[in-house]
């Protein structure tokens, strides 16, 4: 799973979820797929966390605090430079 891309892991998890929604598993196979789904969810969560951490590092590197500033959605259009 380490080499599997985020998109592929997410796609696999979606397929498992859809199969459960359709009731397409017998009990034994369903248990295996449930376990696989939990594994995929954990890996996806870790990858998202890693990406969030990298974004924070990049923002700090360029002096961005993540707070609303000029050009943000919260700014009044009357004061926007463009």
Tens-place pLDDT, residues 42-69:
999 999 999 999 999 999 999 866 555 4
Q: pLDDT class for 30, splitting at 50, 70, 90?
A: very high
42 falls within a domain: yes
73 falls within a domain: no
SS3 77: helix
66 falls within a domain: no
* Alpha-helix residue ranges (DSSP H) falling in 1-82: 6-22, 27-61
72 falls within a domain: no
69 falls within a domain: no
Is 68 in contact with 74 (CB distance < 8 Å)?
Answer: yes
**At which residue do the structure tokens 């990298």 appear?**
54
> What's the pLDDT at 67?
56
Q: pLDDT class for 75, splitting at 50, 70, 90?
A: very low
Is 65 in contact with 59 (CB distance < 8 Å)?
Answer: yes
What does the alpha-carbon distance between residue 75 and residue 30 come to, in Å, rounded to a whole number? 50
Name the pTM for this structure.
0.66
Q: pLDDT class for 1, splitting at 50, 70, 90?
A: very low
- What range does the domain containing 31 cover? 6-61
Is 8 in contact with 47 (CB distance < 8 Å)?
Answer: no
């Amino acid at each position: 799973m380490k080499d599997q891309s985020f998109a592929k892991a997410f796609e696999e998890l979606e397929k498992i979820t859809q199969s459960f929604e359709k009731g397409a598993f017998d009990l034994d196979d369903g248990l295996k797929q449930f376990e696989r789904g939990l594994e995929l969810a954990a890996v996806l969560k870790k990858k998202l966390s890693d990406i969030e951490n990298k974004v924070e590092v990049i923002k700090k590197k360029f002096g961005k605090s993540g707070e609303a500033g000029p050009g943000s959605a919260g700014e009044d259009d009357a004061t926007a430079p463009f």
